[in-house]
Structure 1
């Protein structure tokens, strides 16, 4: 069963790669894009990585990733312009379908969670299965054709631009930091400020460390291993804190940092881009008060619950 779902995950990666290669083709034939060659190469490169990343040598994968950075560094990437939707049509569709528009989105969350809980081995590909079901439901509800699905997927990919790959890069960076021993360096730095044996100071350092490092990394999971190794273990858990409670609260504290950083592109940058907000940091601005309050709550909960 595990082998089946691992192969299924690889199938989803190939599907994503095919969509990205289609986007590369659409960008290349779009003469209104002044940097269509570089932009098309970017999406083609990314598509190859998704499709063949498991099969090509690590050195080749690394060079392809570097190429993505080179294209962006020399500003050879440009987001294509699309014809805006007619406001009248949008309003008519909203009245016509009402709350039905939420069915495919909600099914994505419900199906992925149920599948992961029912079949433990499916956790790696549960979201992919749920996404396929969600697309089928959307096509049934809105009477869409497969071509429309591909075209709108292309529109979304191009609208997101280079920020769409930021989560993958940051997750990889977190693994590199852990292997490089960044946690040990942070432990040494924090040790000079946190009084030995002071539980409250240790908790504050752990929570704020998770918040700040998540803001830098843009990914709470990437920050968790580094900060837990460097701060959580020596300054909180070693003083008698319950590892399960302290670790769980530390991870959700990292999510507070997610609310405060543009590095968390999939949460803060992409919505602003897709909604065409005037202020690219508008989402973050609205989340600051909630994030600050939740940081204080996390410090209190860890101090009183974990010990």
Structure 2
């Protein structure tokens, strides 16, 4: 059964917005690197807009190769520092203060609407159809609901500020310029996690652990699993991407199969150990780099430096908790 809002349509919407940002960047003569910055977002936008067309026209193999080349180009542009922030007209302090006084705490309404509408749509619109058409894509229900939540937030923002759709796009460009290459990290890291799983990295981890760690040492296996989760998360930026690799390589063959550990607390504490790595890596861009950019901190790694003592303390606590709780 078809759906009114599908995941493909959401991707197309993202692609269209990115192309509007590309056009604005090219027209911004105050941006010293507007050509390479526009190319960066253009390449990123084509993945959302034209992937299905490439697959249908050229087949999966060729389409994947083309997208792979685009990913390499995106990485090179970011790696060589070819992104720059555009020029924007800033309102005076008095203008911003007057606007803040007028809107008051209602400014938080759009931000609150996103999670509230997402949860309500996910719970209430599951399996709901009209005239044989689902309202939301049932295979990607949460993402479709998130899109509805974001659109609701934009509409509320327009009402509160008296802005226009074009103004919303301009602000999107300003935020993306401030965030920079970190905005594409979640999608890149998701692909990296898929590559690790397809390459059977978990099996390789199991073989390496067998060479250097005594399989009878419960404590060392717990330490290797927790520290490995933190380190892989630091590399991949997300504990969800590190989890299948380390669990397949250490937790399942050694702790669960050999030492009969309780899987529930084992994998739960293992994920918490991974989150300790999230606190210590720039790859966790949403948590560590984006806030520094939006707050315009002089040291973009200040958030990470502040979190490191807490992360190491939590990691040590997770190791002890796992050791004393998982074995029956």
Same fold (TM over 0.5): yes
1:133 matches 2:131: no
Q: Deviations over 1:266-289 (max 9, x none)?
A: 211111111110110111122223
Q: 1:209–1:27: structure 2 CA closer, same or farther, 3 Å change rule?
A: same
For residues 266 and 173 of structure 1, the distance between their equivalents in structure 2, rounded to whole angstroms, comes to 17
TM-fit CA distance, 1:133:
1.4
Task: Report if aligned partners of 1:174, 1:222 keep a CA contact under 8 Å in 2.
Answer: yes
The answer for the alignment partner of 1:91 in structure 2 is 97
The equivalent position to 2:47 in structure 1, one of 43, 46, 49, is 49
Name the structure 2 match of 1:295: 315
Aligned residues: 305
**Do residues 38 (structure 1) and 36 (structure 2) align?**
yes
Over residues 96-123 of structure 1, what are the superposed CA-to-partner deviations in whole Å (9 max), with x where a residue is unaligned? 3332222211221222233334455312
CA contact (8 A) 1:23 1:158 kept: no
Deviations 1:242-287 (A, max 9, x none): 2233222222321111111011112111111111101101111222
Q: How far does the alpha carbon of each residue in 1:218-255 deviate from its partner, in whole angstroms, 9 at most, with x for none?
A: 12111111111111212322221222332222223211
| Cα distance in 2, alignment partners of residues 92 and 151 from structure 1 | 21
- Compute the displacement of 1:205 (Å): 1.6
Equivalent of residue 244 in structure 2, options 198, 211, 225: 225
Give the aligned partner of residue 255 of structure 1.
275
CA distance in 1, matches of 2:124, 2:272: 25
Shift of 1:73: 4.4
Unmatched 5+ residue regions in structure 2?
A: 55-62, 127-137
Is 1:158 paired with 2:177? yes
1:242 aligns to 2:262 (yes or no): yes
- When normalised by structure 1's length, the TM-score is 0.90
- TM-score w.r.t. the length of structure 2 is 0.85
Aligned-residue Cα RMSD (Å) equals: 2.1
Answer with 1 or 2: which has the greater Rg.
2
Indicate the SS of the match to 2:6: helix
Q: Distance in 2 between matches of 1:251 and 1:114?
A: 27
Deviates more, 1:292-301 or 1:205-214: 292-301
Q: Which stretch of structure 1 is more off in the superposition, 155-164 or 269-278?
A: 155-164
Distance 1:255 1:85, change over 3 A: farther
Is residue 280 from structure 1 mapped to residue 279 from structure 2 by the alignment? no
Name which of 161, 167, 178 aligns with 2:186. 167
* Gap change, CA 1:123 and 1:21, over 3 Å in 2: same
Q: 1:282 and 1:91, CA in 2 relative to 1: closer, same or farther beyond 3 A?
A: farther
CA contact (8 A) 2:28 2:87 kept: no
Which of these residues, 12, 15, 18, is aligned with residue 17 of structure 1?
A: 15
Unaligned runs of 5+ in 1: none
